[in-house]
Amino acid sequence: MSYPVDMSVKPEVTAFFDPATNTISYVVKDPDSASCAVVDSVMDIDYAAGRIAYEHADQIISFISKKGLKLEWLIETHVHADHLSAAPYIQDRLGGKLGIGRNITVVQDVFGKVFNEGTEFRRDGSQFDRLFDDGDTYKIGGMTAFAMHTPGHTPACMTHVVGDAAFVGDTLFMPDGGSARADFPGGDAGELYDSIQKVLALPDEMRLFMCHDYGPNGRDIQWETSVGEEKKHNIHVGNGTTREAFIKLRTERDASLDMPKLIIPSLQVNMRGGELPEPDESGKRFLKVPLNSL
pLDDT in tens, 221-267: 999 999 999 999 999 999 989 999 999 999 999 999 999 999 999 99
The DSSP annotation for 200-268 comes to: HTS-TT-EEE-SB---GGGPPP--EEEHHHHHHH-TTTTTT--HHHHHHHHHHHHTTPPPPTTHHHHHH
Q: How confident is the model at residue 91 (pLDDT cuts 50, 70, 90)?
A: very high
pLDDT over 90 (residue 22): yes
Residue pLDDT, tens place only, 194-223: 999 999 999 999 999 999 999 999 999 999
Q: What is the pLDDT of residue 120?
A: 84
Domain ranges in the chain? 12-270
pLDDT over 70 (residue 294): no
Helix and strand counts by DSSP (H, E) for the chain:
7, 14
Average pLDDT of the residues in 115-122: 89
Helix (H, G, I), strand (E, B) or coil at 199: helix
β-strand pairing of 44-46 with 207-209: unpaired
Q: How confident is the model at residue 2 (pLDDT cuts 50, 70, 90)?
A: confident
Q: Strands of 165-167's sheet, edge to edge? A: 137-140, 143-149, 158-162, 165-167, 207-209, 224-226
Q: Which CATH architecture has domain 12-270?
A: 4-Layer Sandwich (3.60)
Residue 43 DSSP code: B
Q: What is the dihedral of CA 91, 49, 185, 119, to 10 degrees?
A: -70
